[in-house]
Amino acid sequence: MDKLLREHRKSLGGVDVISFGDDAAVERLRDTTCVDVPMQLNWTWNYDSEVEELRSLYEKGKVNQWNAETDLDWDVHCSRDEWVIEPEASMLNNVLVAMGADEETRRAAAFDETNFILSQLLHGEQAALQLCGQLTNICDKMDEKSYAASQVIDEARHVEAFSKFMQRKMGGIHPVGPTLKTLLDLLLEADTARKKTLGMQTLFEGMAVGIMNVMREEARNSLLIDMIRRVELDEARHAAFGVLMMRRVVAEASEEERNELEDWAFTILEALNANHQLDMLRLLGPRYGIDPEGVVEFTVQMPNFGELNSPIYMHTVIPNLRNLGLITDRTREQWIDAGMLYPGTVGAN
């Protein structure tokens, strides 16, 4: 998988980007639904609580359950004829404004873009569901297994909510982007609980919270807003698990092991960032006469690129990694250079 990401790198506007240009290769990647993962299983005979804060997260999970079918108002209307999000929040809308497109076209493009982002979140939810199932096996303490089991049902609910929203209200689900599929497989194939937890709960769920927070603030549809708000409440518990687990791991790790985790975290998020929305632009751009690579080349060369690109990273992931000691002076400049860490923002220093 590392190789796959290296093979698809190229320079665009002087910036290193990940670009899956071969449609057949993308299809093959999507069709690989059977993934061989090394799994370890650990029994425990200690049924008492050993990690109090994890037991308390499990208890919180039990009382904060909700039902995606009955707690959301599925009668709310949603269609391409309305702005589902604020126009300026849509990259496609902003490009189409510059191209002089009419409002109906721009509204449809913003709708498609929202659908694409929600679809990627949905595929990420499925990965989280599967990864937490793995954690119930691989973790060696009952508090960890119980917590992971509670997250399994949360993720099943998120899969249900997002998939129903797109199928009932948006006309269907977009396929997984190749960069995202590659990275999610990397987490599911990781051979230790620490890498799985760092990858999913800290990196991907931290990113998802950042994206959902922006989307909820910019959404105009009340069902979409309510669904994201409810999912975010669950995700806060998941991010807390990531921090609590990784705090123990980092405290016990040797310098070499800590460096390895720090580098792994950067490798994963840098690859996600290096796609620069090309997977979305490749799929949707041609429908609206938009040149995908032209848009990315323009974007990455903007003088304030880091400032515009960093908010979803600075929302949760970067502060959490910094607090865990997994962004140090050794790697800080790399994060800045990639446009993910923006100096001066809260959590950056």
Report angle CA 176, 178, 180 to the nearest 5 degrees.
70
- What letter represents residue 143's amino acid? D
Tell me how far, at minimum, the Cβ of 335 lies from Fe ion, in Å.
23
Tell me how far, at minimum, the Cβ of 231 lies from Fe ion, in Å.
6
Residue 91-130 contact track with Fe ion, rule CB under 5 A, x = bound: ----------------------------------x--x--
Please list, residue by residue across 269-308, b when 16 or more beta carbons sit within 10 angstroms of its beta carbon and e when fewer do: bbbbbbbbbbbbbbbbbeebebebbebbbebbeeeeebee
Dig out the tokens for 309 from the structure: 């690109």
Q: Is 68 in the site for Fe ion (CB under 5 A)?
A: no
Beta carbon nearer to Fe ion, 118 or 128: 128
Q: Is 55 in the site for Fe ion (CB under 5 A)?
A: no
Q: Is 227 in the site for Fe ion (CB under 5 A)?
A: no
Tell me how far, at minimum, the Cβ of 235 lies from Fe ion, in Å.
5
Q: Which residues pair with 15 in a beta bridge?
A: 12
Asked if residues 181 and 29 have their Cβ atoms less than 8 Å apart, the reply is yes
Size of site (CB under 5 A) for Fe ion:
7
Beta carbon nearer to Fe ion, 159 or 324: 159
Give residues 276-295 in contact with Fe ion (rule: CB under 5 A). Answer: none
Give residues 175-214 in contact with Fe ion (rule: CB under 5 A). Answer: 205
Q: Which stretch binds Fe ion (CB under 5 A): 15-23, 152-160, 260-268, 307-315?
A: 152-160
Which of 158, 169, 276, 315 binds Fe ion (CB under 5 A)? It is 158
Tell me how far, at minimum, the Cβ of 215 lies from Fe ion, in Å.
14
Please list, residue by residue across 72-86, b when 16 or more beta carbons sit within 10 angstroms of its beta carbon and e when fewer do: beeeeebebeebbbe
Q: Is 157 in the site for Fe ion (CB under 5 A)?
A: no
Helices 255-274 and 178-189 pack at an angle, to 10 degrees, of: 160
Dig out the tokens for 339 from the structure: 């446009």
Q: Is 143 in the site for Fe ion (CB under 5 A)?
A: no
DSSP result, 15-26: EEEE----HHHH
Radius of gyration of the chain (CA): 20
Q: Is 238 in the site for Fe ion (CB under 5 A)?
A: yes
Q: Which residues bind Fe ion (CB under 5 A)?
A: 125, 128, 155, 158, 205, 235, 238
